[in-house]
């Protein structure tokens, strides 16, 4: 294939950056210096192509060759935002095409010791405090997209939890994507600083108008001090033409526990990178993932766990469902450093292909430099069990519903781990609704959820499950 843009690949982005630099107001020196360094890095490496191992299965030309403007307002109809918003009680920051939307945000319910702020405000309050941490985990060398993000980033969310602070209400970061005349790009930053023994649940939600075709390039970092407990959800219900590249890097101190749910249900091209560094004993990372792609969607999940200390634990379970001509990538790497003895690392990836033309590339990688470790990994790919389809049909359930039920069941193992009921139900309903419309399980799932309530309300019976 001829590739006339190759010599100047990424030039369009650099031009856009230059134009932006010209109109942007004065910034602290460190920010300007980082932008420059990031731009230089990006200019030097450009967008990755298939020769780069990390990007072997994911073609980013749709991003590279796109013409993306930067949004300059956050206008969004409140009614429509409400329809897209997850129905949960949450501390909320909303971003429209990357721009902070104060009227769609509400941080009133936070306890003392917790702060959830847009990056712009955190910088104007005390930019040095932000600068000391931001970018420490994810540098510009992490990936061309991290460099691009660092060069452009102006918006995002800073979440800070003082030692011992427990935030019961989930913290929702909502990224709304608008349909407009020209596609836009945004480069949000997320920083979570969880102090010792603090606890919180953070949820990134990507959603938007169905006709949107924007590029969102997120860099998120989380620091968990000793004993901190962080549950992190990423729910990606991006419009089907949206492009989403996202990384989350986590640094964990002693006895901290990080649990991640990466749920992908949308987007034309999605790449998630998840990295945890387990730096002290007792640190534990749990990665759960579910991706469900149809049409020509492409979803790539790259995960990495670094066992940098003895007595650290990781557990990973990703499930993929691919229909039509969708393509999935799962790359799960576990590195056990020298002298990281008595660690445990388990990893599993199971995929379901609903069509002959769907494709998955799955690759577990273990690098172990210690000898007293417990590690396991497994990857399976298969089709629906035709005997089960038949068995369901012999009970009067039509074939499409039977296939839908079995598909939902496949995803269920990961869904069971989801602690936020509203999220679990939303995902379950979305997965059901996202199946080709003939599957139409929405009603059934909804009804079954009601049944469970009714079941619990029937007096005099002993439920022992």
Partner 1 sequence: MLEVKDLHVSVDGKEILKGLSLTVNAGEVHAIMGPNGAGKSTLSSVIAGKDGYEVTAGSITFEGRDVLEMEIEDRARAGLLLGFQYPVEIPGVKNIYLLKAALNAQRAARGEGEVPAPEFMKRVKEKLAFMKMDPSFLQRAVNEGFSGGEKKRNEILQMLVLEPRLAMLDEIDSGLDIDALKVVAEGVNSLRSEERAVLMVTHYQRLLDYIVPDKVHVLLDGRIVKSGDKDLALELESRGYEWVQEESAA
**Contact residues for partner 1 (CB under 8 A)?**
385-388, 390-399, 401, 405-406, 408-410, 412-413, 443-444, 447-448, 450-455, 458, 461-465
| Integer Cα distance of 66 and 47 in angstroms | 12
| Integer Cα distance of 241 and 13 in angstroms | 20
- Of 319 and 426, nearer to partner 1 (C-beta) is 319
Instruction: Look up residue 55 and give its two tokens.
Output: 């990007």
Smallest separation, CB 297 to partner 1 (Å): 23
- Of 246 and 319, nearer to partner 1 (C-beta) is 319
- Of 295 and 412, nearer to partner 1 (C-beta) is 412
- Of 166 and 447, nearer to partner 1 (C-beta) is 447
| Integer Cα distance of 32 and 128 in angstroms | 13
- H or E stretch at 291: strand 284-293
Smallest separation, CB 364 to partner 1 (Å): 22
The pairing of strands 99-100 and 91-96 is antiparallel
Smallest separation, CB 459 to partner 1 (Å): 11
- Of 77 and 464, nearer to partner 1 (C-beta) is 464
Instruction: Look up residue 229 and give its two tokens.
Output: 């407990």
Using CA atoms of 270, 415, 137, 279 in order, give the dihedral in degrees to the nearest 10. Answer: -150
- Of 51 and 463, nearer to partner 1 (C-beta) is 463
Which residue in this structure is represented by tokens 């061309």?
Answer: 144
Smallest separation, CB 218 to partner 1 (Å): 32
CB 227 within 8 A of CB 254: yes
- Of 339 and 386, nearer to partner 1 (C-beta) is 386
Instruction: Look up residue 29 and give its two tokens.
Output: 């020196």
277-292 burial, b at 16+ Cβ within 10 Å, e below that, comes to bbbbbbbbbbbbbbbb
Smallest separation, CB 456 to partner 1 (Å): 10
- Of 339 and 451, nearer to partner 1 (C-beta) is 451
Smallest separation, CB 414 to partner 1 (Å): 11
Say if residue 460 is exposed, middle or buried (CB neighbours under 10 Å; 0-12, 13-18, 19+): exposed
| Integer Cα distance of 153 and 20 in angstroms | 11
CA 138 to chain centroid, in Å, comes to: 15
Residues 6+ away with beta carbon under 8 Å from 231: 200, 201, 202, 259, 260, 261, 419
Smallest separation, CB 235 to partner 1 (Å): 21
H helix and E strand count, the chain:
10, 21
- Of 120 and 440, nearer to partner 1 (C-beta) is 440
Smallest separation, CB 389 to partner 1 (Å): 9
- Of 271 and 319, nearer to partner 1 (C-beta) is 319
Instruction: Assign 3-state DSSP to the chain and report helix, strand, coil percentages, each to 5.
Output: 25, 35, 35
Smallest separation, CB 413 to partner 1 (Å): 7
Q: In a 3-state reduction of DSSP, which class is residue 336?
A: strand
Residue positions counted in the chain = 465
Point out which residues pair with 348 in neighbouring strands.
317, 378
Smallest separation, CB 259 to partner 1 (Å): 21
- H or E stretch at 20: helix 11-23
């Amino acid at each position: 294939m001829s590739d006339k843009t190759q010599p100047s690949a990424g030039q369009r982005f650099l031009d856009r950056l230059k134009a932006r630099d010209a109109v942007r107001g004065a910034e602290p020196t460190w920010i300007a210096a980082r932008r420059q360094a990031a731009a230089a890095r990006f200019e030097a490496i450009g967008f990755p192509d298939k020769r780069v191992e990390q990007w072997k299965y994911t073609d980013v030309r749709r991003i590279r060759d796109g013409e993306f403007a930067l949004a300059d307002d956050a206008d969004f109809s409140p009614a429509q935002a409400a329809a897209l918003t997850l129905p949960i009680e949450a501390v909320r920051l909303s971003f429209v095409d990357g721009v902070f939307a104060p009227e769609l945000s509400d941080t009133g319910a936070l306890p003392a010791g917790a702060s959830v702020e847009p990056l712009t405000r955190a910088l104007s309050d005390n930019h040095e405090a932000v600068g000391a941490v931001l970018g420490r985990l994810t540098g510009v060398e992490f990936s061309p997209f991290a460099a691009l993000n660092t060069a452009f980033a102006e918006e995002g969310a800073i979440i800070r939890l003082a030692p011992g602070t427990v935030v019961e209400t989930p913290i929702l970061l909502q990224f709304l994507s608008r349909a407009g005349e020209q596609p836009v790009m945004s480069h949000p930053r997320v920083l979570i600083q969880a102090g010792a023994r603090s606890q919180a649940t953070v949820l990134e939600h990507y959603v938007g108008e169905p006709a949107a075709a924007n590029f969102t390039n997120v860099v998120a970092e989380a620091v968990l001090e000793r004993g901190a407990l962080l549950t992190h959800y990423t729910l990606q219900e991006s419009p089907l033409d949206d492009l989403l590249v996202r990384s989350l890097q986590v640094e964990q101190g002693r006895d901290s526990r990080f649990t991640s749910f990466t749920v992908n249900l949308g987007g034309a091209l999605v790449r998630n990178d998840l990295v945890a560094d387990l730096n002290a004993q007792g640190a534990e990372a749990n990665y759960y993932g579910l991706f469900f792609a149809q049409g020509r969607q492409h979803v790539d999940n790259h995960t990495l766990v670094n066992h940098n200390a003895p007595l650290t634990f990781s557990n990973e379970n990703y499930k993929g469902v691919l229909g039509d001509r969708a393509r999935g990538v799962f790359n799960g790497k576990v590195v056990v450093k020298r002298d990281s003895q008595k660690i445990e690392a388990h990893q599993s990836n199971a995929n379901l292909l609903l069509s002959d033309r769907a494709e998955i590339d799955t690759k577990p990688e273990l690098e172990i430099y210690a000898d007293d470790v417990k590690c396991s990994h497994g990857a399976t790919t298969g089709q629906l069990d035709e005997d089960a389809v038949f068995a369901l049909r012999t009970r009067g359930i039509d074939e499409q519903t039977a296939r839908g039920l079995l598909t939902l069941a496949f995803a269920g193992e990961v869904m069971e781990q989801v602690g936020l009921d509203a999220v679990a139900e939303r995902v379950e309903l979305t997965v059901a609704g996202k199946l080709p419309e003939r599957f139409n399980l929405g009603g059934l799932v909804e009804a079954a959820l009601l049944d469970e309530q009714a079941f619990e309300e029937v007096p005099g019976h002993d439920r022992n499950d």
